[in-house]
Structure formats: structure tokens, C-alpha cells
């Protein structure tokens, strides 16, 4: 884990991480939705955009949004590294007690973070379950197959790991071993930790209205299948410990 110096996100209890890759058509809508939510959040919150090396004008839009909103911040990758890397960077750069994340496509509503925050004090993580999913039949079928296989392999009991609305304690998030594709296994990875627990809460779901989905048959089915075996290899090798005494 990279050791990050304290930054302005430490002034907040909750940081909303938003990974962004080629979403220039959604940045304006994101700014409106998130700036509208922050005053309604049940705890003091900020937004941290993580630009994943976008090749369009997403970064320009993010910088403009941050300049107009004092509770918006961003980091930008030098080149595209993938969603898991963007989430990992957000976890590491957010210095708040709580962290959460959502996708930039606005298929979930940031106001539903309040539903997750209500229970976070009792769990390591609270994750959404997309109610009445507005995706195509083909996409939903692929997700059901992938989720079923993952549950069989990991026994994590998670219904919808693809839901991009999650809240975690910051120290829990920073201990998660992140590799490409591991963002799909957050419930299982949280359960690996000593005393790790999570709760699932139904949240709203909307159709994508702008931009283009980054997922297709190959990375929605084959990727998760292969990653399940990586998780099975990792599980018995995960290091857990509790410090008893020290003089730091």
C-alpha cells in the first residue's frame, strides 16, 4: 500500500470516489447530482474524482467542476490503468474515516449513499443491490451467470457485486488487496479481514443516458470467471494479524 500524506479529504467524514474513463458527456450531470447531494448527506462529505487516463475531455470537465465546487477534488492517472486501479487509488488518497464509490454513468443515485451510511457504523462495508435493473436482458443475464458462479466459488453470499454504490470504513478499504478485476470481489475480500462484515441494501437503478459502457461479453463473463480462481488461490494466503503491544 502506498503511504499517502494527509490531504484535504481528512476534513470530511466521508469521501465519494468517482472513477472516470472517457465520460465527458456525463461530467456536467455528475457535477449537478453530486453538488446537489452533498448538502443532504447525513455526514460531512466530499467528492474525489479519479480520472483513469481519459482520452476525451473528461479531465477538463472534472477540473472545471472542481474549480466551481469547494468540496470537489481530483487525481488523474498519466495513462489508463483500469477500474480496479482507479478504485484502489481513491481508497489510498482518501484520508476520511469513510469512503464510498459510484460509477460516472449515473445509473445509480448518489442520494442513495444515505441509505448505506445509516448502517455503516455496524459493518465493515455496506453495499447496494440494484432494484429493478434498467439494463438489457442480455446484460442482466450475463450478470446473473457471473454473480452465480462467483457466489459458488467464494461463498460470499453477495447478490450484486456489480452494483457500483458502496460505503466502507477507510481502514478496511486500504487493507483490501486490489488487483485487476478485484473490484468485483469486494464483499469476499472484506470477509477475509479479521471481523470483516457487510450488509446489502436495495438502491435505485437507472438506464445509461450518455456515454458508452466499458463492459462487454468478454470482460463481464470471462474476466470474473478467471478472477474467481485468483481469489480462491489468495484466500488461504491472506495475512491477518492483531497487534498486541507496541511502543510507537
pLDDT in tens, 144-172: 666 666 666 666 767 787 788 999 999 99
* 44-66: average pLDDT: 97
Say which DSSP state 180 is in.
T
* 179-200: average pLDDT: 87
Confidence of residue 92 (pLDDT cuts 50, 70, 90): very high
* 22-41: average pLDDT: 96
Name the residue range of residue 222's domain: 8-237
pTM over 0.85: no
Residue 146 included in any domain: yes
Residue 247 included in any domain: no
Q: What kind and span of H or E run contains 126?
A: strand 125-130
CATH code, 208: 3.90.550.10
Residue 3 included in any domain: no
Residue 41 included in any domain: yes
Q: What pLDDT is recorded for position 181? A: 74
Number of domains into which the chain is organized:
1
Residue 218 included in any domain: yes
pLDDT at residue 214 tops 60: no
Amino acid at each position: 500500500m502506498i503511504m499517502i500524506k494527509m490531504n484535504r479529504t481528512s476534513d470530511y467524514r466521508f469521501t465519494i470516489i468517482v472513477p472516470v474513463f472517457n465520460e465527458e458527456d456525463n461530467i456536467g450531470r455528475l457535477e449537478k447530482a453530486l453538488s446537489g447531494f452533498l448538502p443532504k448527506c447525513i455526514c460531512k462529505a466530499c467528492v474525489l474524482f479519479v480520472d483513469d487516463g481519459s482520452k476525451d475531455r473528461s479531465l477538463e470537465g472534472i477540473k472545471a467542476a472542481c474549480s466551481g465546487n469547494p468540496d470537489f477534488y481530483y487525481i488523474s492517472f498519466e495513462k489508463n490503468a483500469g477500474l480496479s486501479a482507479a478504485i484502489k487509488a481513491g481508497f489510498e488518497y482518501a484520508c476520511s474515516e469513510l469512503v464510498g464509490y459510484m460509477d460516472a454513468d449515473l445509473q445509480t443515485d448518489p442520494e442513495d449513499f444515505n441509505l448505506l451510511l445509516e448502517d455503516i457504523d455496524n459493518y465493515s462495508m455496506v453495499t447496494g443491490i440494484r432494484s429493478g435493473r434498467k439494463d438489457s436482458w442480455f446484460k442482466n443475464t450475463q450478470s446473473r451467470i457471473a454473480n452465480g458462479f462467483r457466489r459458488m466459488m467464494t461463498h460470499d453470499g453477495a447478490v450484486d457485486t456489480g452494483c457500483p454504490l458502496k460505503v466502507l470504513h477507510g481502514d478496511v478499504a486500504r487493507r483490501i488487496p486490489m488487483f485487476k478485476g478485484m473490484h468485483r470481489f469486494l464483499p469476499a475480500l472484506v470477509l477475509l479481514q479479521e471481523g470483516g462484515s457487510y450488509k446489502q441494501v436495495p438502491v435505485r437503478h437507472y438506464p445509461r443516458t450518455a456515454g458508452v459502457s466499458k463492459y462487454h461479453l468478454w470482460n463481464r463473463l470471462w474476466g470474473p470467471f478467471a478472477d474467481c480462481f485468483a481469489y480462491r488461490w489468495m484466500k488461504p494466503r491472506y495475512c491477518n494479524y492483531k497487534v498486541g503491544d507496541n511502543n510507537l
